[in-house]
Amino acid sequence: MRTFLLGFLVFICAVANSQPDTLFNQTDANKLKQGWWKKAYPNGKLMYKGFFRDDKPVGTMYRYFENGAVKAILIYDAKSEYARARLLYEDGNLAAEGVFYNSLKDSTWSYYSYYDRSLTATENYQKGLRHGRMTNYYNNGIVSEILDWKNDKKHGVWEQYFPSGKLKMKGSYVDQKLEGDFLVNYDNGKPYLQGYYVNDRRQGKWTFFTENGTVEAEMEYVNGTPLNEDQLTEKQQELFRTIDANEGKFEEPDESNFLIPQGR
C-alpha cells in the first residue's frame, strides 16, 4: 500500500511538471483572459507573465527585458484597479516606484539614478493628473527644483536651488501662468534679478543687480513688452531667454514601456 501511494504521488508530480503551455493563455466563452498568461519576444524570452481574472490582471505581474532581466513588478489589488509598481533597470537596480490606477499614475512616484542609485525626482499624481509637488534632486540629496501642480496645471511655487542648497530662482504659477514676484539669485544668495509677472507676462520694473547689491540695469515692461531692451547686455538678454525656454519644465522617465501590453 505504501509503495502504491508513493508511486501515485510520483505520477501526479510528473504530470504536474509536464503540463504543456496550453495551460497558459486561456480565454473563456466570452473571450476574456482567465488564469495564467504569458507572452514571449521573437527570441523566445518572456515579455510578461501574470494571472488574469475576467481579462484583468490580479496579483503579481512580471514584465521582462528582451535579455530576460525583470523590467517591472506590478502587484494588483483584487479589483485590478490599483497596482503598486517597481520599475527596474536591466542591471536589476530600481529605476522607479509608485502606484498605477487603471494604468494611470497615482499617488507619489519616485525615480532613481542609473549611475549611483540616488533619488533623482519625486512627483505626485491623482489618477493620471499631476497634482501636488514635483521635486528634483542633485545626487547629493539636495533639492535642485520644485514645482507645484493642481489638476495637471502648474499652480503654486516654482523654485530652483544651487548644489549648495541656496535659492537660485523663485516664482509662482496660477492656473498654468506665471504670476507675482520673480527672483533670480547669485550663488552667494544675493539678488541678481527681480521683477513681477501678471498673467504670464512681465510687467513693470525689472532690475538687475551686481553681486555687491548695487543696481546694474533696469527694464520697464508693459504687458510683456520691453520698453528699453536695447540697454541690456547680451548676458542679461540670454537670462531672459533661458527663463522663457525652461519655465516649469521637468524631465521624467517614460514608463509606458513597463505597462501591460493590450494585445494577446
Look at residue 183 and tell me if it is in a domain.
yes
E runs forming strands in 55-214: 56-64, 70-76, 82-88, 94-101, 104-112, 119-126, 129-130, 132-137, 143-150, 153-161, 167-174, 177-178, 180-185, 191-198, 201-202, 204-209
Look at residue 256 and tell me if it is in a domain.
no
pLDDT confidence bin for 226, thresholds 50/70/90 = confident
The verdict on 87 and 182 lying in the same domain is no
The verdict on 172 and 105 lying in the same domain is no
Domain of residue 107 covers: 26-130
Q: What is the mean pLDDT of residues 52-72?
A: 95
Q: Taking the model in full, what pTM does it have? A: 0.81
Quote the pLDDT of residue 241: 81
pLDDT confidence bin for 64, thresholds 50/70/90 = very high
Q: What is the mean pLDDT of residues 125-135?
A: 96
Q: Which of 175, 211, 218 is nearest to 195 (CA)?
A: 218
Q: What is the mean pLDDT of residues 42-59?
A: 94
Look at residue 157 and tell me if it is in a domain.
no
User: Which are the contacts of 147, defined by CB distance < 8 A and separation ≥ 6?
Assistant: 133, 134, 154, 156, 157, 158, 159, 173, 248, 250
Dist CA 177 CA 168 (whole Å): 20
Dist CA 60 CA 50 (whole Å): 6
Look at residue 154 and tell me if it is in a domain.
no
Round the average pLDDT of the chain to a whole number and report it: 86
